[in-house]
Every structure is written in C-alpha cells, then in structure tokens.
Structure 1
Amino acid sequence: MSDILCEDTLNELVEQVGGELVATLLVDLAEDAGTRVQRMQDLLRDNEMDELRKEAHTLKSSTGTLGLKVVSEQAALIERKLVTGEGPGVEPVVPELPGLLEEGLQAATSWIADKQ
C-alpha cells in the first residue's frame, strides 16, 4: 500500500461509484484542491488564520474522501493547530502542500488507471 494514499478508501469508492467516476472526481479535485492550496498559502502570508483554518478543513475532507491520505492528514494538522491557537506551527506545513497534493494526485491517478 502506498504511504501517500489510502487504498482502502479508493477501493471502497470504486465499489460504490465505479472507477470512471472516481477518475473524473480526481480531475475535479486537482482543480479545486490546487486552487485551495494556493489560497491557503496566500492566507498564511496575509496572517488570515481563521480563513486558513476553514480552507484546511475543506481540503482535509475533500482529499480524505478520495484517498489522498497524506494531504488530508497535513490539512488536519493545520486545522488542529489553528483551532488550538498554535498558528505559528502551521508555517512550515502550508508550503509543503503543493508538492504533497501533486504527489498524491499522481499516485491516485496512476492507481485508478491500473484498476480500469
């Protein structure tokens, strides 16, 4: 099992809705999450921590639903730190998100291509 993906989540999703729809959802996620990750970086730069927390929550949910385990976990970490008042603790995490998202999307896309 890939460390970056939750293959159990992906398998369950494929069983429920089919591989073709999961592939389409991954394309949609790439666009949405890419925009969201860029916004999160802007919010961090502008010290808009409440909005950053909201974006992290949404990213956590959307990437977790499609099995991007590491991205979802990092978004959850950001959200948790902001909820508990550890805002400065997110500074090293947010800049890692674009690379993690790209890696996760590539892994998920390859995974689903192998299943079809």
Structure 2
Amino acid sequence: MSPQAAAWAILFVAALLEIVWALALKQAEGFSRLWPSVLGSTVAMASFALLTVALRQLPVGTAYAVWVGIGAVGVAGTGMLFLGESVTPQRLAFLGLIVIGVVGLRAVES
C-alpha cells in the first residue's frame, strides 16, 4: 500500500471515530454522565491523532473537509436511523451533496 493510500485509510478510520465521539458526547448530556464523557473524549483524541497522521501525506484542506464530511453524514444518518431525528427529502438531499463533495475531493486527490 502506498503512503498516500495508507493516509486515506487512516483518514477514513479517523472520520469513523468522529462519528463515535460525537454520538458519545450526545449521550454524555453535557459531560454529566461519566462513561459517555470518557468514551467521547478518548475517542475524540484518537480521531484527532489519526487525522494528524493522515495530514503527513494529504493536503490539509482536503483531509479536513473529508474528515468532517464523513463525520457529519455519519452522525446525521445515525441520528435519523436510531435516534428519531427527522428524515426529510431536503435533509437527505443536502447530506447527499456532502457525500458528493467528499467523493469528489477524494477523486481529485488521487
């Protein structure tokens, strides 16, 4: 695996961890619940650390946009599927635009 391919894989894992920490912090209820707070904080540090590693090979603007985009779509999707958040055509369309942007950024950085 090339260094750039490895960086993309690391970035993807970092973005998946972003989903975990955001959802954990939601469950932490403003840091009032210990274990979700600990999980969210710990996973956030791991996500940031992996983002930092990926940035050694990837442009910061692209990597950050992809990291945030995957995290945002993942958190929004999880909220809709499991947390009872609203599912509207407009919301799905705008999440689709984020996905298109992430895929497009990945494609142009290949």
TM-score of the superposed pair, with normalisation by structure 1: 0.38
The answer to which structure, 1 or 2, has the higher relative contact order (CA under 8 A, 6+ apart) is 1
- Which protein has the larger Cα radius of gyration, Structure 1 or Structure 2? 2
State the TM-score, normalized to the length of structure 2.
0.39
